[in-house]
Copies of this chain bind each other. A is one copy, B any other.
Amino acid sequence: MKIAIAQVNTTVGDLTGNVSRCVEAVERAAAGRPDLILFPEMTVPGYPPRDILLDGTFVRAVQAATLDLARRLDGFPPALVGSLAPAGTSLPRHPNLHNAAYLLSGGKARLAAVKRLLPVYDVFLEPRWFVPGGSMPPIEIAGKKIGVMICEDLWDEGYPASPAKELLEAGAEALVNLSASPYRPGALDERMALAGRTGVPFVFANLVGATDELIFDGRGFALDAGGNLLGQCPAFDESVQVFDLESAPAAPALKLDEAEELFCALVFGIRDFARKNRLRRAALGLSGGVDSSLAAVLAAEALGPEAVTGIAIPSRYTDPRSTESAETLAKNLGIGFQAIPLEPLHAAAESSLGELLDSETGAENAQARLRMLVLMAFVNKHGGFLLNTSNKTELSLGYATLYGDMAGALAPLGDLTKPQVYALARWINNREGEIIPRFCLERPPSAELRPGQVDPFDYDRLAPEMDELIRSNRSNPALRRSEHKRWQMGIVLKVSEKSFGTGRLVPVSRK
């Protein structure tokens, strides 16, 4: 029994593009003569389509595209693709759909499985669009009974049903899973452990690609009945691979170390955001601090150095070494660099606004907002998007200026604690030589918004405390007070169990 994983990068709503990708993947897979080709969850519409599913014309187009794909795959080995199926329910203001897997074979599409367990935690809100499916028997492929599951169906702990167990009881000799499981540290181990526990050969196809805050890491794999790894697909990249379920176990999984995995996730998240929004360039403020330095390295890796510009906006309070370091970093990376002094704008604001700026907060926030003005002027002129460089710890503490340093369409560091930012910056320097100037790493953290200012926090103590509050859905006055600011923030790439974004739904108005 040979099963191919087609680890494709689909785009939400791009039915033509997604179908073409599937056809190409099948053409490539066919050379390895698989008995079955396995695609990720929601292959045809892309994932997560969210409220686009409330548009009936879109749903009909997805169904038509699925049939079109079936016709185009006639003559190839059978393929399992993720798509939509009508649920037959009539829930109000609900698309009344199943999250489904179709077996495409002989030019026809046949329903093979419907997702039974619908996650509704964190970034998942699946009951808004889907109705849980009932159990379906295994499908038959090359004389073997194959149980088909969709993503959460494997994560059955706490649910009233166990799809894997029911499929095995119904005679399944192997299991396959069509997934869209987002990256987080430890995700791969978790997937393999759950799959390995089933006691039958298991093939797990996972989506690769990023949609807004969600980064899907791919890393599909095949296990034998003993839970031993037969082979796996790469992380953060498209891939088509055929796995022979009767072959000998492969060497143990090639794993990325923690820092490299995080680096690759962030780079991929930036790259796919730019590509899927048809943005060719990014700009960011380079302060000579560790956050913007790290963001610049990530952006240069993601988009190519020629597509990135770092802009230093030194003020009267800026240590000259900050701007020198920013320029050195830009040179090391080969990205564009500009230094635009803040002073003329700062002086004009002071003379125009007079006593409105006489408080410490007012004076500091105005500088951050003038910097935003400069950065957005650059983006308006040259196109592309502004990268935000805030980290999770300062965002949680509210130590960030709304419409100032909180500006930017995408926040690649918004789910990294301050110590994680340092660790990743050091990892980069250890790997590639001193790309990030030592000054950026060794100076005390400072916003440089008044003379001699340093960040008033013990980050090593505070960062894990704040992160634990977020993770456990608890709060404190700092977190609560700054909720309205984060409400107005760009997209934060999610790389932890719990990030600021659609997975955190808390009211601003509360006590």
Contact = CB atoms under 8 A, between A and B. Distances in A.
A155 interface: yes
A51 B505 contact: yes
Contacts of A91: 120, 158-159
A139 interface: no
A348 B377 CA distance: 14
A356 interface: yes
Contacts of A93: 121-122
A511 B11 contact: yes
A142 interface: no
Contacts of A484: 277, 409, 490-491
A474 interface: yes
A508 to B, nearest CB: 5
Contacts of A372: 369, 403
A508 B487 contact: no
Contact of A14 (B17, B52, B511): B511
A46 interface: yes
Count of chain copies:
2
Interface in A401-429: 402-403, 407, 409
Contacts of A353: 340, 373-374, 377
Nearest to A348: B348
Interface string A345-375: 1011101110111110110011001101110
A504 interface: yes
B344 A357 contact: no
Interface string A100-133: 0000000000000000000111100101100000
Chain A facing B: main interface SS: loop
A27 to B, nearest CB: 23
Contact of A348 (B212, B345, B376, B504): B345
Interface in A189-229: 210-212
Contacts of A369: 369, 372-373, 376, 403
Contact of A277 (B158, B340, B508): B508
A381 B355 contact: yes
Contact of A55 (B17, B359, B472, B505): B472
Nearest to A469: B55
Interface string A484-509: 10011111000000000010111111
A394 interface: no
Contacts of A277: 484, 508-509
A10 to B, nearest CB: 10
A33 interface: no
B370 A373 contact: yes
Given A353-B377, A505-B125, A510 B11 contact: yes
A198 to B, nearest CB: 18
A277 B49 CA distance: 34
B511 A276 contact: yes
A166 to B, nearest CB: 18
Nearest to A90: B158
Contacts of A475: 52, 55
A130 B116 CA distance: 18
B159 A92 contact: yes
A94 interface: yes
Given A340-B352, A377-B366, A211 B507 contact: yes
Contact of A380 (B120, B155, B361, B508): B361
A52 B370 contact: no
B12 A510 contact: yes
A196 B352 CA distance: 62
Given A91-B158, A374-B353, A210 B55 contact: no
A264 interface: no
Contacts of A362: 377, 380-381
A57 interface: yes
Interface string A125-164: 1011000000000000000000000000001011110000
A421 B330 CA distance: 49
Given A345-B349, A403-B372, A211 B377 contact: no
A453 interface: no
B348 A507 contact: no
Interface in A5-59: 11-14, 17, 46, 48-52, 54-55, 57
Interface of A: 11-14, 17, 46, 48-52, 54-55, 57, 89-94, 119-122, 125, 127-128, 155, 157-160, 210-212, 272-273, 276-277, 340-341, 344-345, 347-349, 351-353, 355-359, 361-362, 365-366, 369-370, 372-374, 376-378, 380-381, 402-403, 407, 409, 472-475, 484, 487-491, 502, 504-511
Given A52-B507, A210-B509, A376-B402, 6 more contacts: A11-B510, A13-B511, A52-B510, A94-B121, A211-B507, A484-B491
13 contacts: A17-B511, A52-B473, A93-B121, A125-B128, A125-B505, A276-B510, A277-B484, A347-B348, A349-B373, A353-B373, A358-B381, A362-B380, A365-B380
